[in-house]
Structure 1
Amino acid sequence: MTSALIDRLRSDLATANYSVSALTGLWGIEADAALRRNQRVPALRALAGLREKLGHTEPCATLARLFVLGLPVDRADLDAALPALGAAGAEELGLAASVTVGDAGTGGSGDAGDAADTGDTADTADTGDTGYESHAALRPLLELRPYTFVDAHGAGSWWIASDLGELALGHALGESHVLGVGGASLTLSGLLIPTEVVSALDLGTGCGIQAMHASRHAERVVATDISARALELAALNVELNGIGNIEFRLGSLYEPVAGERFDHIISNPPFVITPRVAGVPSYEYRDGGMVGDALVEAVVRGAADHLTPNGVAQLLGNWEYHARQDAFDRLAGWLDAPASSSRRSNPASSAITATPAVSARPDEFDGDFAPNSSNSPPATPPGAKSPSNSHEAVRATDAAALEAWIIEREVQPPTLYAETWIRDGGTRADTADFDRLYGAWLDDFEARGVTQVGFGYLLLRRPAAARVPGAPATPATPGPGLRRLERLPGALGHNPAGIGSYLADCLAAHDWQAATDDAHLARARLVVAPDVTEERHYWPGQEDPTLMTLHQGSGFGRSIPLDTALAALVGACDGDLDVGSIVAALAQLLEVDQRELSADLLPRVRELLTDGFLQLPVPPG
């Protein structure tokens, strides 16, 4: 019966044109922006004006009021908006509940995920919502929002159900809250490599959004979570959107997939560092239950045992800086040590959640993960080498080590980190409770010697075959393996379909150049990537530039300083001449030794290939 009801709901939502663009059309872009700040008054005023103008409520407006703004609607209006399902069907699916007569004006929107524990209901009296009265109304039990995206496979749209947010509840979220699509979710989905694979694992699926994205490039997806309620909502979302290749399993971390391997592992883990003391709330959607960054460490260490050869894991995470240890040194240790050592050092890890993190309010960290974010000014010019980037390296793999490309996007001091996540839990500043939690966070960081917290992206890969360090590369063990840890705090490039395809291209380019000696590289005919531009600065009246820079329009938006020789080489890479011929011509033109020039330029050509500035030409057809 439930499947039949979901089918009716799907049909009704499509008929009502319940979409992102339709909602913007109802209340405008300014109201959209206000909603992202958790303010609904502009949207309510727009809906009231539309109702007054038309003399009735549009079905899409009814759905928006109920499921986005979190306010009650007339039963008759909901029956009209959902003609196949009806208000009764919405109640049966757990989407809405009846409001007693006289309560409709003040809401009563409890969080279904927490109602059993708290009995909380929303206080929605102060909404600016005028002219709306009801004697037979329904309040929302869930959010049900339209969601649209563009990826390597094209444009798509879904409807996503999740627990009610603070806007509807009128109070802080419950600890078992299941989030919808937030900034961190958008960031991770935009990072996903879209290469077609047989199997994918979404570790800590939450509302199911990453598993749904993975279903577009994987034949089979397994989605896990420690929260039974999260799995229920994820299953609803998958069925509502007609996705049939996702399997759900209950359990912590890798326990539900013990002994299994996957081509692609995806995880938005509960990476928030939370004091483990009495009186500090622990939210399933963001807190892994371990001390410090141990949850992210457990996900990283366990990946090697669950990836197929050449399989890739992608996750978001944070990591601690300690007084006497750089965070990148700690990350390198996670990559080299087997998962068994993690289990020995973290005995609680087998019982810890791996549910996804963070919601979408603009004061939260997930906004800093959003594509094209410029919230953090770069410490050095984008792409420039500096002592802080000294951990960028390539090294030989061995049986225990994962290949890795880790990108730190932001660093926060303990004070800012604590403020961010206390606000995320719904505790207001300038209150005694906020000050108490603030003290607990700072006590924890001080006791463990934490000086900063880094945030970023982790891409891990299991080598196709292990190679003994120092042994020559072979077709079966090409290498050196990828081990790159870098800091890129600046804005990303323009990536309307996400950055996943760029990451895949960079991995392929790295593998090609790593398996290619200088003699073969010199015979390669390269082309400049279509998004690359060159910038030159001149002193007035001078013919020669004083500064030349190569800019990347997409990807990570890197910028590379150029000298005369490298600028000339890049400019000549049009696919007609091989690299060796270009170097020979430049040596003659610049009147320098060809071998010395080649020794200088070829390593930089490798970097430009790996970073996507230069490409191998695509064969015709």
Structure 2
Amino acid sequence: MGRQEERQDLIAELDADVSAALRARLLDAGYTTERIEETLGSGRISFAAADLAVHERRLEAGEPFSTAVRLFLLGAELAAADAEVAFDVEELLRTGWLEASGDGVHATLKLVPHGDLLLASDRDDDSVDAQWVAGIHPPSVTLAKLTVRRPVARALDTGTGNGIQALLASRHARAVTATDVNPRALAFGRLNAGLNGVENLELREGSYFEPVEGERFDLLTCNPPYVISPERRFAYRDSGLAGDTVSRVVVEQASELLEEGGFAHVLVSWAHPPGDWWSPLEPWVEGRGCDAWLLYFGSDDPVTHASEWLKPVARDDPAAFAERLDAWLDYLRGLGIEAIGHGAVILRRRNGSRNWTRRDRVNLERLEQASEHILRVFETQDYLESLDDERGLLDETFALVEQHHLEETRRRTELEGTVLSLDEGLGFRTALDVHTAELVPLLDGTRPLRDVLAQLAVGDAKRFESAALPAVRRLLELGFLARASSA
């Protein structure tokens, strides 16, 4: 812990003016996500020794962008003179951003761009201990995409880590509170707020929702340490609670912190019987005064789950890997866990009437920023719940959203199938039968559904309506259609 404790102090003491100057130098150097991906390749960057050698050879010598990548992304040691190409080395040594190492210098932190944000975290190649703070990783990006972005008074990010969710919320919330049990995470949150000029963020130390007991928020985000694990090694991964308890408790308590109409977005992991991923989740949201959207990303069997989370052990200490793997499998077996699901729960506080719960599978490879899509789905679900039956759809006017495309499969000239894809939000795809494929282009927001169906009906119009209504309802549920009155 010695080196980590020293750097804890350095994080707390970083000067705001130095942070602003560093940000300006990085931006001047073109240190952006787009240029990094263009230079090193898209996707998650590997820091394995062989891959680092490849990355090095893609970078030019004596050029500010390459210097920034070598120092703050790849963690390379550079001669002080080479680092001076882009940075004031003496100043960064004084403030702790850089550290002397032999005849050169290296960065003490990892610093990466995310959109127009710059995010500092612990280095991937550091000796990881309980307080290690992760950088930007796929779950944090997923949560950011799933979060509703609308102007609100108060937002809460609990288990804030490096603070990315809190920083994003600061752009559309008047005040943001971020909590974490890990003081090092709060130090990074403070650093990143200063680095990005965020002034409406308050950081509080404590476990989950304890620091905000009795308060209410319009927006809540949480990426908890949801990994079902027998260990208590890492604050970012292990909750110390049995099984999926931490995910359940966070979902249950989140509902109590929401203002009327407020949204909560929580990433979760849960144990479930093979093939039945919904039934264990549903009790978490029942009777909470919230509408709930349960999202399922996929599942792992116990061996896959344990081996994936123990990959660093397999890489660094193969002899210990088998022993640790057996310990994880014994733990999961003892809890009777046969499959582990991954997903998210989105809640919206709505008192005074019967709440609804819906369930959908999500392909994360198609996930985009989903705020507008999520708001549209919640509004549409309210409307559908208000109908006495599906025939109430007939007098409403619907429009197909612009962000879509149709894919047709043909064998020579014969149409074999049509798939409608949403090019925004959760990226849903759905197969259309021949009649629905004819109907969809006619839903342009100009006529009631009854009139559109009458145009297409052949023979018994009532029978045609009855067959079409479930398909229209499903397109509404998935967000492909919107009511013209709410557009």
- Would you call these one fold, judging by a TM-score over 0.5? yes
| Aligned partner of 2:468 among 589, 593, 601 | 601
Which structure carries more strand by proportion?
A: 2
Q: Which residue of 1 aligns with 2:74?
A: 69
Pick closer, same or farther for the CA change 1:179–1:430 going to 2, 3 Å: closer
Tell me which of 446, 449, 452 is aligned to 1:576.
446
Query: Is the CA contact 1:409–1:489 (under 8 Å) kept in the aligned structure 2?
Result: yes
Shift in Å, 1:16: 3.4
Q: Which residue of 2 aligns with 1:36?
A: 46
Checking the alignment, whether the CA contact within 8 Å between 2:40 and 2:58 is kept in structure 1 is: no
**How far, CA to CA, are the matches of 1:34 and 1:563 in structure 2?**
38
With normalisation by structure 2, the TM-score equals: 0.88
1:12 maps to 2:30? no
Distance verdict in 2 for CA 1:505–1:299, change over 3 Å: same
How far apart are the structure 1 equivalents of 2:83 and 2:410?
66
CA–CA distance in structure 1, aligned partners of residues 448 and 44 of structure 2: 55
Deviation string, structure 1 residues 364-409 (Cα, Å, up to 9, x no partner)? xxxxxxxxxxxxxxxxxxxxxxxxxxxxxxxxxx5x3432111111
Question: Given the alignment, which residue of 133, 157, 166 partners 1:211?
Answer: 166
CA separation of 1:466 and 1:87: change in aligned 2, threshold 3 A: same
Calculate the TM-score normalised by the size of structure 1: 0.70
- Whole-angstrom CA distance in 2 between matches of 1:462 and 1:21: 38
Q: Which residue of 1 aligns with 2:401?
A: 529
> Equivalences for 1:4-153 in 2 at 5 Å?
4-23=17-36, 28-30=39-41, 35-36=45-46, 38=48, 39-47=51-59, 50-51=60-61, 57-82=62-87, 86-99=88-101, 103=102, 135=103, 137-148=104-115
1-structure distance, mates of 2:21, 2:410: 66
Query: Is residue 289–residue 355 contact of structure 2 (8 Å, CA) maintained in 1?
Result: no
Conservation of the 8 A alpha-carbon contact between 1:322 and 1:449: no
Listed as ranges, the gaps of 5+ residues in structure 2 are 1-13
Distance 1:534 1:260, change over 3 A: same
Q: Does 1:514 align with 2:385?
A: yes
User: Equivalent residue of 1:291, what SS?
Assistant: coil
Equivalence for 2:422: 552
Q: Tell me the SS of whatever aligns to 2:339.
A: strand
Name 1:107's counterpart in structure 2. none
Per-residue Cα deviation, 1:163-212 (whole angstroms, up to 9, x for no partner): 1112xx4xx52222101111111111111111221111111110011111
Question: Structure 1's 215 and 511: CA in aligned 2 closer, same or farther, altered over 3 A?
Answer: same
Is 1:331 aligned to residue 284 of structure 2? Answer: no
Residue 189 of structure 1: which of 144, 161, 164 is its match? Answer: 144
- Aligned-partner residue type, residue 442 of structure 1: L
1:485 lines up with 2:359 in the alignment: yes
Aligned residue for 1:97, secondary structure, equals strand
Structure 1 range deviating more: 15-24 or 183-192 = 15-24
Flag the structure with larger Rg: 1
Q: Percent identity?
A: 30
Q: CA 1:560/1:18 → structure 2, altered by over 3 Å: closer, same or farther?
A: closer
Residue 228 of structure 1, CA deviation:
0.8
Q: What SS does structure 2 have at the residue aligned with 1:575?
A: strand
Find the aligned partners of 2:277 and 2:228 in 1 and give their Cα distance.
15
Which amino acid is the alignment partner of residue 592 of structure 1?
Answer: D
**Does the 8 Å CA contact 1:221/1:246 hold for their aligned counterparts?**
yes
1:159 to 85, 101, 118: 118
Q: 1:426 to 1:89 in 2, by over 3 A?
A: farther
Native 8 Å contact 1:407 1:457 kept in 2: yes
Superposed counterparts of 1:91-490, under 5 Å: 91-99=93-101, 103=102, 135=103, 137-148=104-115, 157-166=116-125, 169=126, 173-275=128-230, 280=231, 282-322=233-273, 326-336=276-286, 400-423=288-311, 425-428=312-315, 431-463=318-350, 465-467=351-353, 481-489=355-363
The answer (yes or no) to whether the contact 2:229–2:243 under 8 Å persists in 1 is: yes
1:23-59 deviation per Cα after TM superposition (whole angstroms, max 9, x unaligned)? 456xx345x6694353211222344xx33xxxxx233
Question: What corresponds to 1:2 in structure 2?
Answer: 15
